[in-house]
Amino acid sequence: MEFELTQEQQMIYQYGSQLAKTYDRKYWMEKAENREFTHEMWDQMGKDGFLGMMVDTQYGGAGLGMMELALLMEGMSNEGIPLLMLVAGPTMSLAPISSHGTEEQKQKYLPACCAGTKQFCFAITEADAGSNSMKITTMAKSNGEGYKLSGSKTFISGADVADYALVVARTTAFKDVDKKTDGFTLFVVDMKAKGVEIQPIDMSFVMPEVQHSVFFDEVELGPENVIGEVGKGFNILFDCLNPERVILAAMCVGLGRYALDKAVDYASEREVFNGPIGAYQGIQHPLADAKTKIELASLLMRKAAWGIDQGFTEGGDANMAKYAAAEAGIEAVDAALQAHGGNGFTKEYGIFDMYPFMRVFRTAPLNREVILSYIGSHVMGLPKSY
Ligand SMILES: Cc1cc2nc3c(=O)[nH]c(=O)nc-3n(C[C@H](O)[C@H](O)[C@H](O)COP(=O)(O)OP(=O)(O)OC[C@H]3O[C@@H](n4cnc5c(N)ncnc54)[C@H](O)[C@@H]3O)c2cc1C
């Protein structure tokens, strides 16, 4: 594994800093507070060729890998722009269509999504199933020629701005399968199709990507809506899980760095007793501790990204990276908040705003406890807890 980034990777990493000159943290916060998607920034990224990082060049993508997609996210988040739709779209939807879609599906969805003119959200979570995706009940019933999709999903980020959803549904009910991972199928659903309804969820913190409940009432789908093999959707989903962990780890380490940079600036200037507060060990050590953990998580994230690009399928590094990055990010924001004193809680300084956003990633998309169980049993060989 090379630690040095290639010139192209450095360029992708630095793109975030350049983008943040036009679409900066203030822009992101204004959008978040208005619950409005960052359309202008997304369009710009499409024009600049950064939305199809893992899509083949013949379909309008950059033909690169997980490392480049992660570096893009890390670079942007370093500047305070944690673009969550990079997870739902390019990571969770475009990548599977790219690797498992038919030629027709690739032609239909990929060029427009890479250009930013069309967008995907990703829908797996259901209220009654929660972290146990095996128990989802959204069902696509076959009528011989096509399917009728019924059920509901929750917490779907960006369902309001998405043209399509990549929906994980059952084509065989849980009770009728031999293996619990059988019977899942992935469908592309047009968000304007008859029978699709969305309802925003009133979240208690803000981000530009609004979470929605999505309802499907006998939505008619054809074989052309199926991605990959019917009943084998979980295999495709497995391919997306490590990339999802990695991209979120990249986001958490980047935003953590952004918080620490702000804390360093503030603590180097602010004087309370003798000299700047950044010299007080009570301020300096938590920041240094968080910085160390952020850089460790970044390294593990890049190792996991590299592994995905090598074709490794084990989830150890990706899960550990996501866990480490979310915890390090939360710690970094908390240390930055403490360093800012009362100012940390003001809109002007913009530190507290980062806290609830970062805290989400201890819970979603996979909570800390399930990840630790995975590491315990799959990486360390301990007995399984569930
Ligand atoms: C901001 C945000 C954006 C999201 N975006 C999307 C999206 O775009 N698409 C999508 O499909 N979903 C999305 N989600 C849903 C997210 O993936 C789920 O919230 C998450 O998977 C957890 O499921 P749950 O909320 O039902 O929690 P539950 O499964 O009810 O878990 C509750 C708590 O129980 C504990 N727990 C659960 N299982 C175990 C276990 N096995 N061992 C020990 N403890 C356990 C954990 O502490 C967990 O936090 C989003 C959620 C949020 C908050």
Distance of CA 146 to the CA centre of its chain: 31
Which of 122, 128, 131, 355 has the most ligand 1 atoms within 8 A of CB, as the residue to mutate?
A: 131
327: alpha, beta or left, given left = phi > 0 and alpha = psi -120 to 50? alpha
Angle formed by the axes of helices 7-22 and 39-48, nearest 10°:
150
- According to the model, what pLDDT value does residue 12 have? 98
CATH class of 238-379: mainly alpha
Task: Verify whether ligand 1 is closer than 6 Å to residue 124 (CB atom).
Answer: yes
Q: Which residue type sits at 49?
A: G
Is residue 371 within 8 A of residue 252, CB to CB? The reply is no
CA-based nearest residue to 198, from 235, 237, 154, 230: 154
CATH topology of domain 121-231: Butyryl-CoA Dehydrogenase, subunit A; domain 2 (2.40.110)
Angle formed by the axes of helices 7-22 and 66-78, nearest 10°:
40
* Cis preceding-peptide flag for 365 (omega within 30 of 0): yes
Counting atoms of ligand 1 from 1, which one is nearest the CA of 363?
49
- The three-class DSSP label of residue 255 is helix
- According to the model, what pLDDT value does residue 386 have? 73
* Cis preceding-peptide flag for 243 (omega within 30 of 0): no
User: Low-confidence residues of the chain, pLDDT below 70?
Assistant: 1
CA of 308 to the centre of ligand 1 (A): 24
- According to the model, what pLDDT value does residue 111 have? 98
Greatest pairwise CA separation for the chain in angstroms = 79
- According to the model, what pLDDT value does residue 1 have? 67
d(C-alpha 66, C-alpha 91), whole Å: 9
Q: Which residue type sits at 239?
A: D
CATH topology of domain 7-118: Butyryl-Coa Dehydrogenase, subunit A; domain 1 (1.10.540)
CA of 241 to the centre of ligand 1 (A): 14
Same fold, 7-118 and 121-231: no
Which residue is closest in CA terms to ligand 1's atom 6?
A: 156
**The pair of three-digit structure tokens given for residue 44, joined into one six-digit string:** 């710009």
- According to the model, what pLDDT value does residue 378 have? 96
Q: Which residue has the tokens 């530009």?
A: 208
> Exposed/middle/buried for 372, CB within 10 Å: 0-12, 13-18, 19+?
middle
Which residue is closest in CA terms to ligand 1's atom 12?
A: 125
Domain ranges of the chain: 7-118, 121-231, 238-379
Which 3-state string (H, E, C) describes 79-95? CCCCCCHHHHHHHHHHH
- According to the model, what pLDDT value does residue 238 have? 87
d(C-alpha 212, C-alpha 123), whole Å: 10
d(C-alpha 290, C-alpha 261), whole Å: 11
Q: pLDDT digit string (tens) for 38-81? A: 999 999 999 999 999 999 999 999 999 999 999 999 999 999 99
Task: Verify whether ligand 1 is closer than 6 Å to residue 128 (CB atom).
Answer: no
